[in-house]
Chains A and B, each alone.
Chain A
Amino acid sequence: DIVLTQSPATLSVTPGESVSLSCRASQGISTSIHWYQQKSNESPRLLIKYASQSISGIPSRFSGSGSGTDFTLSINRVESEDFSVYYCQQSYSLPRTFGGGTKLELK
């Protein structure tokens, strides 16, 4: 199985800061990584697909990069509504594993 390791587990920031969240795969997965945001008691929401492709309706401050084993979700100037948990997921092979998540919290 492909293991996805997200870091850090928790990131404490103030609104207006720009941040980078990391997702590392245990083997090369090309660009088959997707990012989700999950707010408390809600379903996950797709933010970025295939490492860097934008999703309609998602604010442009969210962007993704990477290929192979190292991937990054960047948030340019965090807003209050962004404080939530972020997960990466791979679609390179079955099982369709998720990372453990990064919680973005208010400092």
Chain B
Amino acid sequence: QIQLVQSGPELKKPGESVKISCKASGYTFTDYAMHWVKQAPGKGLKWMGWINTYTGKPTYADDFKGRFVFSLEASASTANLQISNLKNEDTATYFCARSPTMAPFAYWGQGTLVTVSS
């Protein structure tokens, strides 16, 4: 069956970096785009952008340009999200989600909680 399994929770200090992974299984990894979604505590869902798993080209929403990097380890069917120079407002659960281009997100990872605190 199709699964997206994300890495575990992270506790970081401001200014540090974090890398979250999303390992896909049950389908051909390069056939579907991978999206990233942020959910701050008690808040709604915010789309961060997506990565073309065939070409490796990332696209970032405006609020996520600069400190956020989407990458792939295609041989391991894994998508990664790296956040550098962490700020308190980066404290959130980050989800990966699979979707064909411009289609709904039918499959989601379980989410990774990143806590940024001094």
Q: A residues engaging B (CB < 8 A)?
A: 32, 34, 36, 38, 43-46, 49-50, 55, 87, 89, 91-92, 94-101
C-alpha gap A89/B46 in the complex (Å): 10
Select from chain A the residue with minimum beta-carbon distance to B110.
A43
C-alpha gap A96/B49 in the complex (Å): 8
Given contacts A36-B105, A44-B105, A49-B104, 14 further A-B contacts (CB under 8 A): A34-B105, A43-B111, A44-B95, A45-B108, A55-B106, A92-B102, A94-B59, A95-B62, A96-B50, A97-B47, A98-B45, A98-B46, A100-B44, A101-B45
C-alpha gap A87/B59 in the complex (Å): 23
C-alpha gap A101/B42 in the complex (Å): 11
8 Å CB interface, B62-118 against A: 62, 95, 102-106, 108-111
Instruction: Give every chain A residue within 8 A of B46 (Cβ-Cβ).
Output: 98
Instruction: Give every chain A residue within 8 A of B103 (Cβ-Cβ).
Output: 49, 91
Q: How far is the CB of B47 from chain A (nearest CB, A)?
A: 4
A44/B45 contact (C-beta < 8 A), A95-B61, A95-B62 known: yes
B35 interface hit (Cβ, 8 Å): yes
Q: B residues engaging A (CB < 8 A)?
A: 35, 44-47, 49-50, 59, 61-62, 95, 102-106, 108-111
Asked whether, in the complex, the Cβ of A96 is within 8 Å of the Cβ of B111, the reply is no
Instruction: Give every chain B residue within 8 A of A98 (Cβ-Cβ).
Output: 44-47
A46/B47 contact (C-beta < 8 A), A95-B61, A95-B62 known: no
**Among the interface residues B49, B59, B106, which one has the most CB atoms of the partner chain A within 10 A?**
B106
**What are 11 A-B pairs at a CB distance below 8 A?**
A34-B104, A44-B95, A44-B105, A50-B104, A89-B45, A92-B102, A94-B59, A95-B61, A96-B35, A96-B50, A98-B46
